[in-house]
Amino acid sequence: MLITKIQGGLGNQMFQYAFGRMLALRNHTDLKLDITLFRNYEFHLYTMDHLNIQTQVATDKEINHFRWYRPRNTRLGRRILNPLFADSKKYVVEPAFTFVPAMMDVQAPCMVDGYWQSEKYFLEIEDIIRKEFTLREPLGAYAQDVASRILAAPNAVMLHVRRGDFAHHEHMKKVHGTVSPQYYQAAMDIIKEKVPEPTYFVFSDEPEWARENIKTGYPTEFIGQGPDKNFEDLELMRLCKHHILANSTFGWWGSWLSDHYKTGITIAPKNWNIKLDTRDLLPEHWTVLAL
């Protein structure tokens, strides 16, 4: 058995699942998810169960078995006994934010704990990931209407504006921050030069802010169904031909899962995270802007 710890928003959850799925297949073992964080999580909901993922939720007993081996334990009893039980092969902590090839050879049984934000961790099972990251249920009526307009547009451009905790929570502001207006303008200038008749679909967790601050100069629709429907917004992002990303893994997956992943234009900010080295996060064929 292999357990992967799930944390963060839907985009982060998907990276963690994709890495765990790859390892489980390599090890010919079952993958289970540790979603205990979401019992009292302030920022995000666990919504990956709306996707066609092939796994089960780990029990508390299964999770606690591996937590004894965590190299840096936080609970008092485990911290006291930690020198006796710590085992980095049974509780595997992501050693760096960049892609670490040795992590591809992790052996089960174990728990893996990290973000694993690089397609290099799961490209070998790309077809499986694309198939499983589809919706279990049909889109709701509103999302179906938006989907029809995206598909009817000659060149649908997704533009993602991430605000929320990145803009308002002091700790998250220091770690992530938000991308600049200059970045969005430069990205839209590239689209204007290369894409005839673009229609913009602007996705945001603060759609009213986006409406006031994002001026595309072309037909534009603003979308933001909220955390309860983020999986539907992800599907709508995927339907677009071209993508302008915020510094958010949610929009990252909207582009990566698109049928136009290799043929469309994807523009992403270089300064994805203030503190971490994100060189392996952005695929080489994407356009990266340092603004």
* Residue-level pLDDT, tens digit, the chain, 291 residues: 999 999 999 999 999 999 999 999 999 999 999 999 999 887 789 999 999 998 899 999 999 999 888 877 555 445 554 555 689 999 999 999 999 999 999 999 999 999 999 999 999 999 999 999 999 999 999 999 999 999 999 999 999 997 655 443 444 444 445 688 899 999 999 999 999 999 999 999 888 889 999 999 999 999 988 888 999 999 999 999 999 999 999 999 999 999 999 999 999 998 887 677 888 999 999 999 987
Q: 117 with 38, same domain?
A: yes
Q: 146 with 127, same domain?
A: no
- Expressed as residue numbers, the domain containing 260 is 141-289
Full strand arrangement of the beta sheet holding 91-93: 56-57, 31-34, 2-5, 110-113, 91-93
Closest to 258 in 3D by CA, of 148, 150, 139, 178: 150
Q: 267 with 224, same domain?
A: yes
Among the candidates 132, 165, 192, a domain finishes at 132
Q: 145 with 101, same domain?
A: no
Q: Report the predicted TM-score, pTM, of the whole model to 2 decimal places.
A: 0.91
Q: 75 with 204, same domain?
A: no
Q: How many domains does the chain have?
A: 2
Among the candidates 71, 100, 132, a domain finishes at 132
Among the candidates 113, 132, 151, a domain finishes at 132
